[in-house]
């Protein structure tokens, strides 16, 4: 069977390509932009990827076209598929029908932490010898790939609330029919498709509705938006998690808790309903990752992994690309790459790094890129989110629809606004000192600023 994937270089659609190849199909694809790491993975698997959406890529006609949610009516390839009557599906529909139909699906949903929690959970199952399949919106260093079929019924999927396709406006995750669900948190995001938080909550409740009564919903204990979702109705077992810093009494039961024994989050004691379990020592930082770990431990236990074994697995977890990932250290300057683009994620990432480096300087570089951010939805909270940095450099592209000077006025850290990435690099090189930490945050490629900055620092 020949499958052609439109939008193949996104992490989700690229993962679909990897799974289809492992199922034995011939896979090709096209995308507006071809870039690593996905392009590298696809090339290694023999997947032919063409740039752009030329209808000629679909001649001769494939047996099935999988259409990514980045494509809409008016796209030349989409119009060709419709006019020629070619068979087509969305990525989530393909995943559900061809991969997940006979699996124990462990789905990780939430505004923040999906990639990290999914990666931790897949690694715990792997460490326990369960050889799971997975599809994750990032590259876990323990696996080096974003997706695989696995050798057992267990399958971990990052369950995104974004819409499915131009012809299916339901959230992706309603296709997955999970037996185990993690709900990390819930905030307003994706302003390009959701008018308000209530619309997102309704989609999350659609997810809750399809969890079996013998399944399990694992959720943050102190998230009031999730609590409102649960009040709409839940027919499954529930389990909760919270860090001690977040804990409010009385806690629901059963509830996992973490007590930090190091302020940067690299060590914490785990308990269940007040009973000590074990202590985690690992390489990740921040209270948000502590919560991600608790959620993964709980989900793995539902699949049969003892909590102590899960905690031991965490000590060998190597992290994920683009999640506070050290790109390089040049002349005493450490450069990080992070996917943070929502004020909450920015706050948590900076706090984790600050607790780790103490009083050393943190130069934060933020690409104001996400659809929600470009629309100015979070302009009142972005300044306070950046407060932990020593200094901030904001990149304002032509697509930003509001005045970033509003952030300058609301942030205690000094901020400079840029329209040129070259200028950002030049200023960082001129200002950087030994022991500085440069944190680059973007949910896109940011024009390769990470490698360009490292090269420029090395050349000085």
Please check whether residue 65 is in contact with residue 25, taking contact to mean a CB–CB distance below 8 angstroms.
no
Domain contains 97? no
Is 77 in the same domain as 107?
A: no
Number of domains in the chain: 3
Alpha-carbon gap, residue 301 to 298, rounded angstroms: 5
Given a cut of 80, whether residue 218 has pLDDT beyond it is: yes
Domain assignment of residue 346, yes or no: yes
Look up tokens 């499958």; give the residue: 3
Domain CATH number, residue 56: 3.40.50.720
190 and 309 inside one domain? yes
167-204 residue pLDDT tens: 999 999 999 999 999 999 998 887 788 899 999 999 99
278 and 160 share one domain: yes
319 lies in some domain: no
Domain with 372, as residue range(s), is 325-459
pLDDT band at 247 (very low <50, low <70, confident <90, very high): low
The CATH number for 141's domain is 3.40.1190.10
Whether residues 229 and 189 share a domain: the answer is yes
Across-strand partners of 337? 325, 440
Is the torsion defined by CA of 96, 101, 102, 107 positive or negative? Answer: positive
Q: What percent of the chain has pLDDT over 90?
A: 74
Binning pLDDT at 50, 70 and 90, where does residue 40 land?
Answer: confident
Q: Does residue 31 fall inside a structural domain?
A: yes
What integer is the mean pLDDT of 415-427? 94
Residue-level pLDDT at 400: 82
pLDDT level of residue 5 (50, 70, 90 thresholds): very high
Q: How far is CA 303 from CA 176, 192, 210, 266, 312, in A?
A: 17, 36, 18, 26, 17
pLDDT of 458 higher than 70: yes
Say yes or no: 129 and 191 in one domain.
yes
Last residue of a domain, one of 89, 120, 144: 89
Query: Is residue 427 very low, low, confident or very high in pLDDT (cuts 50, 70, 90)?
Result: very high
CA dist 207 and 215 (Å) reads 12
β-sheet bridge partners, residue 364? 392, 439
Residues 109 and 69 occupy one common structural domain: no
Same domain, 310 and 363: no
Are 22 and 132 in a shared domain? no
95 lies in some domain: no
Global pTM value: 0.86
Whether residue 224 sits in one domain with residue 114: yes
Q: Are residues 266 and 354 in the same domain?
A: no
Mean of pLDDT values over 268-293 = 93
The predicted model gives 6-28 an average pLDDT of: 94
Q: What is the pLDDT of residue 373?
A: 76
Domain boundary among 270, 287, 314: 314
Q: Are residues 198 and 305 in the same domain?
A: yes
Boundary of a domain, candidates 89, 112, 134: 89
CB under 8 Å to 221, separation ≥6 — which residues? 240, 241, 242, 246, 247, 248, 251, 252, 255
Residue 156, in any domain of the structure:
yes
Least confident of 108-112, 252-256, 301-305, 370-374: 370-374
Report yes or no on 345 lying in a domain.
yes
Q: Which CATH number do you get for residue 347?
A: 3.90.190.20
Residue of higher predicted confidence among 422 and 287: 422
Residues 383, 308: one domain? no
Give the model's pLDDT for residue 399: 81
Across the chain, mean pLDDT equals 92
Residue 94 lies in a domain: no
For the stretch 331-385, pLDDT in tens is 999 999 998 878 888 988 998 899 889 999 999 999 988 777 777 777 888 899 9
Q: Mean per-residue pLDDT for 217-230?
A: 96
Q: What is the pLDDT of residue 445?
A: 82
Give residue 246's pLDDT band: very low, low, confident or very high (50, 70, 90). Answer: low
């Amino acid at each position: 069977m020949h499958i052609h994937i439109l939008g193949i270089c996104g992490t989700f659609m690229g993962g679909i390509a990897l799974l289809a190849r492992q199922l034995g199909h011939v896979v090709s694809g096209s995308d507006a932009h071809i870039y690593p790491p996905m392009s590298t993975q696809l090339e290694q698997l023999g997947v032919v990827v063409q740039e752009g959406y030329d209808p000629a890529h679909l001649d001769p006609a494939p047996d099935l076209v999988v259409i990514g949610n980045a494509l809409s009516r008016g796209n030349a390839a989409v119009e060709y598929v419709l006019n020629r009557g070619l068979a087509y599906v969305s990525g989530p529909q393909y995943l559900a029908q061809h991969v997940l139909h006979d699996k124990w699906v462990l789905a990780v949903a939430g505004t923040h932490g999906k990639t990290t929690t999914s990666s931790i959970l897949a690694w715990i199952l792997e460490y326990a010898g369960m050889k799971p399949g997975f599809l994750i919106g990032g590259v876990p260093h323990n696996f080096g790939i974003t997706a695989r079929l696995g050798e057992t019924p267990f399958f971990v999927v990052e369950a995104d609330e974004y819409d499915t396709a131009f012809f299916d406006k339901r959230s992706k995750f309603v296709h997955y029919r999970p037996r185990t669900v993690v709900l990390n948190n819930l905030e307003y995001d994706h302003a390009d498709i959701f008018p308000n938080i209530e619309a997102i909550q309704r989609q999350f409740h659609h997810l809750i509705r399809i969890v079996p009564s013998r399944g399990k919903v694992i959720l943050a204990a102190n998230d009031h938006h999730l609590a409102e979702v649960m009040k709409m109705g839940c027919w499954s077992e529930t389990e909760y998690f919270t860090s001690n810093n977040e804990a409010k009494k009385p806690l629901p039961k059963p509830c996992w808790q973490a007590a930090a024994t190091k302020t940067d989050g690299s060590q914490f004691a785990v308990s269940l309903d007040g009973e000590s379990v074990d202590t985690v020592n690992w390489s990740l930082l921040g209270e948000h990752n502590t919560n991600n770990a608790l959620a993964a431990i709980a989900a793995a236990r539902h699949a049969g992994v003892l909590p102590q074994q899960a905690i031991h697995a965490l000590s060998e977890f190597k992290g994920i690309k683009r999640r506070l990932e050290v790109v390089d250290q040049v002349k005493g300057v450490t450069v990080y790459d992070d996917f943070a683009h929502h004020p909450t994620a920015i706050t948590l990432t900076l706090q984790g790094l600050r607790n780790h480096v103490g009083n050393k300087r943190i130069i934060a570089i933020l690409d104001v890129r996400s659809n929600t951010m470009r629309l100015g939805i979070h302009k009142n909270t972005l300044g306070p989110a950046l407060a932990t940095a020593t200094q901030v450099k904001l990149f304002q592209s032509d697509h930003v629809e509001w005045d970033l000077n509003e952030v300058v006025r609301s942030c205690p850290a000094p901020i400079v606004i840029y329209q040129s990435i070259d200028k950002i690099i030049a200023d960082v090189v001129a200002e950087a000192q030994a022991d500085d930490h440069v944190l680059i945050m973007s949910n896109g490629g940011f024009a390769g600023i990470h490698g360009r900055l490292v090269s420029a620092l090395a050349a000085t």
